[in-house]
Each structure stands twice: as structure tokens, then as C-alpha cells.
Amino acid sequence: MALKSRTGRRQFLIGISATAAATSFATAGFRSEKSGDSPRQPLLPTIFLGQHPVTRLIAGWNPIGGYSYLGRNMDRHMREYFTVDRTAEFLLKCETEGINTHQFDPTADMVKVLRTVRESGSKMQFICLHSDGSRHGTPKDVVAQTFPIALSHHGGVTDKLFREGKANLVHDYVKQAHDLGVLAGVSAHNPDNIKRIADEGWENDFFMTCFYYVTRYNDHPEQLAEQKTVGKAFYAQDATTMTNLAKQIDKPCLGFKILAGGRAPMDRGGVKEAFSFAFQNLKPTDAVIVGMYPKFSDEIREDANLTREYGAVAPELS
């Protein structure tokens, strides 16, 4: 495995310098843009994916697509809320609060959203979650339609292909992304798949690492019979397992489902604890992807503030 070197004072200063450079980039290019009635906030703490400064909080897509993990009624509620216009407003609000990157699925509606956001003058960056052969077209089609900074192979498909002995197709996807001139990521829920890719030295630029191994019963159906679980299982220890692995990998890891797909305690204390855990247990060069649903409260500002609180100071790794 490509191990992460120890982070002493030198790496900490490098991280601070990178954040300062990214903030300078933001203030130079973003201040004059319109972004609603709220004053624009400074850029959040930032890492780099390739040459791109990316905030340590990346706006996720699942609520936009109606994936709540809380049942079909909540799924429908989210889909009805996130119209094309409202989704564009959501992303502009994210930018106002200091978030500069969004991870999305390339649906027809999202193609319209991205066009609307860009035409408004936004400088938001986009990471596309996708897999070859999906109903949304080929990697070439997706890049031509959405102009992302990166393609990341879809986590559920990654786990399925590894399970079927077809990991080479995921590796081929990484190569296709690079051939198209964008960064290449691999998403997975199974930490063993992340470890295997790192051990084999694939040329992907980053990982998307799920805090919860939600595909474990697809990989190990015999365990489902033993546990008699209803629906997908979110085990608390999974987050520690994945973050321990992320700390050993010498590439940026973008942690997702840090709130257990909305199943974590969602009061203020529970959300604060989840953000604290994520940033304390990931590398200074890592970030988180969080889906936000601002129907009932200003989750965008709340999550941005938690990122400023917990993601600004790089923790020392032992």
C-alpha cells in the first residue's frame, strides 16, 4: 500500500500554505459574482485535487436525487423539493457560504442545473460520480455535457464489479478519465476494495471512501441470514475502520455518508459530533462530501460553520 508519510510541522505548514493560496484564488475570482442576498463568506479550508483547490466540505448529491436512506416518502419529498431551479439556487447558496465544489450524478436535470449555475457566473467546480455503461452515457458523453474537474467511479458499481471478479473494468475507467483530460477517482463502500487499489498502485488521483460498509450483505449474503437485518446496515465501527485505512493511503480521500445517510443523531450535537469525528480522523489532505437538505433549516450554513470549526486545523497523525 502507498502509505501516507508522517505529518509533522513541515506538512502542516504546507497544508496551511495551500489553504492560503486557495483562499487567495477565491477572493480574486469570486468576490464580484452575484450569489443571492447573503454576503459571500470566505472560502472554507481547502485541499488540492490535482491543481484544483477544493473545499474540505463538498456538497453532495443524494438528497437532490431523492436518496434519503429513510424510506420512499422521504425520497419523494426530496425529489419534489429539488426542482432544477431550486437545485441551482442551492448550489449558489453553497458557493456563498464558502463551498466551491459539488459532487453530482449526471442526470438530465443536473445537466440543466450545471448550465444554469455556470451562466449565472458561478465558479463552482464539479466532480461527477458515474460508471461506464450507465444510463447517463459514456464517460466521454458525460465530460462533454457537464465539464467536470473529475470523474469518480460509482461506489456501488465498484463493489459489484470487484465482487464479480471484474476489478479491471474499474481500472479501465480510471484510465478513460485521464484520457479525457480530467482527474480520476474511485468510490467504494467496502474498505477492502480501497486497500486493494492502493496496494496495486492504481493511477487514480483520489478515493471516495464511504464511512459505512452498506454493501457488506451483497458481498457476504450469509451474514444477512445470520443478522436478519432489515434494509441497509450502518454499524458505528465502520467509520473507524474506513478512516483508519484512509490515514494510511497516500492520496486524498473524500469521506462520504459521515452522517450515516441521515441515520446518525441529527440534532445539533449529533451533527457536530459527526463533523468533529470526520476531520479528526481523516488526513489534513482529505475532505468530506455531505448531502444537505435545507428545507427545514439552513444546513448549508450550519455544515459550513462546522467545517470552519473542525476542518481548519490539520490534526497531527501518529
Q: How far apart are CA 266 and CA 259, in angstroms?
A: 8
The pLDDT score that the predictor gives to residue 17 is: 40
pLDDT attached to residue 23: 40
Going along the chain from its start, the domains and CATH numbers come out as: 38-215+222-310 (3.20.20.100)
Nearest to 274 by CA among 242, 236, 312: 236
Please tell me the predicted confidence (pLDDT) of residue 213.
85
Residue type, 274: A
If residue 47 lies in a helix (H) or strand (E), which one and from where to where? Answer: strand 46-49
Going by DSSP bridges, is the β-strand pair 183-188/57-59 parallel, antiparallel, or unpaired? unpaired
Q: How far is the C-alpha of 292 from the C-alpha of 277, rounded, in Å? A: 18
pLDDT at 58: 98
First to last CA, the chain: 18
What is the rounded distance in angstroms from the CA atom of residue 48 to the CA atom of residue 207? 13
Helices (H), the chain: 9-30, 62-65, 72-81, 84-96, 108-119, 139-146, 155-163, 167-179, 191-200, 216-219, 221-227, 236-246, 268-281, 299-310
Backbone angles phi and psi of 150, in degrees to 5: -155, 150
Give the Cα separation of 39 and 96 in Å (integer). Answer: 7
Query: b vs e for 292-307, b when ≥16 Cβ sit within 10 Å of the residue's Cβ?
Result: bbbeeeebbbbbbbbb
In contact, 158 and 210? CB cutoff 8 Å: no
Q: Round to whole Å and give the CA distance between 91 and 75.
A: 20
Q: Which three cell numbers stand for residue 156?
A: 456501488
DSSP string, 55-102: ESEEE-SHHHHT--SS-HHHHHHHHHH--HHHHHHHHHHHHHTT--EE
Alpha-carbon distance of 92 to 173, in angstroms, equals 30
Residues paired with residue 152 on neighbouring β-strands, in sequence order: 129, 185
| Residue pointed to by grid coordinates 492520496 | 251
**What is the mean pLDDT of each successive set of 10 residues along the chain, which is 318 residues long?**
46 39 38 53 97 98 86 90 97 98 96 97 97 87 97 96 96 98 97 96 97 76 59 77 96 93 68 95 97 94 97 58
Q: What is the Cα 91 distance to its own chain's centre?
A: 15
Q: Which of 82, 100, 87, 83 is nearest to 40 (CA)?
A: 100
| Helix, strand, coil percent content, the chain, rounded in steps of 5 | 50, 15, 40
Residue 83's pLDDT is 97
In three-state secondary structure terms, 122 is coil
